[in-house]
Amino acid sequence: MSTTTPSAAVAPPGPAELPEQKRIRLGGTTREEILTMLGAGAGSLGLDWVLYERVLPFSGAFGFLLCWYLLFLTLYTVAGRLQWDALTVRERLATALAWSSGLLVTAVIVDQIGYVAVRGFDAARHWNFFTETMRTTAPLSPITSGGCVHAVVGSLEQLGLATLFSVPLGILTAVFLVEAGATRRGARIVKPVRVLVEAMTALPSIVAGLFVLGVVILTFGAEKSGLAASLALTVMMTPIVTRAAEVVVRLVPGTLKEASYALGAGQWRTVWHVVLPTARPGLTTAVVLGMARGVGETSPVLLTAGFTTRMNLDPLHGNQASLPLYIWNYVKQPYPEMVARAFAGGLTLMAVVLVLFVTARVLGRHRTPVDRPTRRPLRSPRTPVTVPRTAPTVEN
């Protein structure tokens, strides 16, 4: 009789252990990254100098800087690939592109503002420039004589009238394109309107001035005035406001409209009480874009508003100056004092645009439910709340 001993239990093979993955750190800066960037910048600068000064027959500061930037990106990519993986290289190269683009744009803006401020400092540092007109100022008058207050008033009146005309028209057109274009019958009506808006978006500003000059001034016999200039600016601002407002109105959720329709509201009541309040921050952006399009226009104002050195508070009658026209009229003169006044006018125009944009942003700021003040409770907290007691029930 043979006996067999039980064999030891063999454990089933477990799952193979995965190799430990290396964590990729995105964002932030390290010492290696900074040293690699500095080395790529210094190496690309030296290589760029050799190519421009010794090898290639190139010249010019712009080409030198552009070639340096391209060589920097190339060397930074090669040096990074020698020590990092491909994903990290792409991420840090994109970071370098984003930072360099932002710094470039900031440098250009600072350069423009600084150049205008330096050239116009002699005139802007005197208080009379912001309180006087050019009525009694001659080309050889000292810098302490004359100012741009009449041009500031004219620009504000013309831009205000143009905004008053273009914003309601542009928003109504945008609502029409969105609401009427949702149906098959309305799509045929919307198509020519959309084509007209897109064509007006690319319209040169001089054409708008010629249109108002030929139709309003020469045909109907109206005089050159601030109103005629505001009409020309309206032609420029309306398509910008329409395009931007249409995009914003399309972003309003359809569930909000359906809820309004379910409560018995009509289409235009829904638009007035639901769509427009919901899209108010975006509509403010559309208004700001339209104002940016019209505030610095010179050619339409030159053809329709005329020019004067006196204060004209009435935009309906008489020539009226504006800041762009003020700058254009004086910057071309051969007198240093007049050129300084023109650059000071440009600095004033920047300040006016900044104030208008900040005001539009503040007025159009969307208030969330958290920002709104809470209502007072109906019951005073001092009033004790009494809970009536019910008699106990006896179950049989």
Q: Three-state SS string across 171-233, please?
A: HHHHHHHHHHCCCHHHHHHHHHHHHHHHHHHCCCHHHHHHHHHHHHHHHCCCCCCHHHHHHHH
- Confidence at residue 166, expressed as pLDDT on a 0 to 100 scale: 93
> Over pLDDT 90: what percentage of the chain?
27
CATH number, span 149-363: 1.10.3720.10
> Whose structure tokens read 């601002």?
237
Mean pLDDT on 166-171: 93
Whether residue 153 is predicted with pLDDT greater than 60 in this model: the reply is: yes
Of 359, 332, 357, which is closest to residue 139 (Cα–Cα)?
A: 332
Mean pLDDT on 355-383: 58
Q: How far apart are CA 281 and CA 264, in angstroms?
A: 27
pLDDT digits (tens, 9 = 90+) for 187-245: 778 888 888 898 888 888 889 899 999 999 998 888 899 999 999 999 999 999 999 99
Q: How far apart are CA 36 and CA 78, in angstroms?
A: 10
pLDDT digits (tens, 9 = 90+) for 44-68: 999 988 888 888 787 788 888 888 9
Whether residue 296 is predicted with pLDDT greater than 50 in this model: the reply is: yes
- Confidence at residue 368, expressed as pLDDT on a 0 to 100 scale: 43
Mean pLDDT on 290-294: 87
The string of DSSP codes covering 258-280 is HHHHHTT--HHHHIIIIIHHHTH
Token duo for residue 242: 């329409």
Domain ranges (residues) in the chain: 31-121, 149-363
Q: How far apart are CA 139 and CA 124, in angstroms?
A: 17
Q: How far apart are CA 213 and CA 305, in angstroms?
A: 10
Q: How far apart are CA 229 and CA 216, in angstroms?
A: 11
351 with 298: CB under 8 angstroms?
A: no
Q: How many CB atoms lie within 10 A of CB 278?
A: 18
Q: How far apart are CA 353 and CA 291, in angstroms?
A: 9
Mention every residue, 6+ apart, whose C-beta is less than 8 A from residue 215: none
- Confidence at residue 245, expressed as pLDDT on a 0 to 100 scale: 92
Q: How far apart are CA 244 and CA 149, in angstroms?
A: 33
Q: Of all helices (H) and strands (E), which one includes residue 249?
A: helix 226-250
Token duo for residue 319: 């020539």
Q: How many CB atoms lie within 10 A of CB 189?
A: 13
- Confidence at residue 390, expressed as pLDDT on a 0 to 100 scale: 54
Mean pLDDT on 5-11: 51
Q: How many CB atoms lie within 10 A of CB 326?
A: 27
Q: Read off the DSSP letter of residue 125.
A: T
Mean pLDDT on 316-337: 90
- Confidence at residue 163, expressed as pLDDT on a 0 to 100 scale: 92
Q: What are phi and psi of 384, to 5 degrees?
A: -70, 145
pTM of the model: 0.74
Whether residue 371 is predicted with pLDDT greater than 50 in this model: the reply is: no
User: Please, what is the angle between helix 86-124 and helix 61-81, to 10°?
Assistant: 150
- Confidence at residue 136, expressed as pLDDT on a 0 to 100 scale: 86
Of 169, 154, 70, 138, which is closest to residue 326 (Cα–Cα)?
A: 154
- Confidence at residue 22, expressed as pLDDT on a 0 to 100 scale: 62
Q: How far apart are CA 94 and CA 86, in angstroms?
A: 12
pLDDT digits (tens, 9 = 90+) for 266-288: 888 888 888 888 888 888 888 88
The whole-chain average pLDDT of the chain stands at 83
Mean pLDDT on 29-35: 82
Q: Read off the DSSP letter of residue 82.
A: T
- Confidence at residue 171, expressed as pLDDT on a 0 to 100 scale: 92
Whether residue 363 is predicted with pLDDT greater than 80 in this model: the reply is: no
Higher pLDDT, 297 or 396: 297
Measured CA to CA in angstroms, residue 175 lies from 102, 201, 374 at distances of: 35, 18, 33
pLDDT digits (tens, 9 = 90+) for 110-151: 999 999 999 999 888 889 898 889 988 888 888 888 889 999
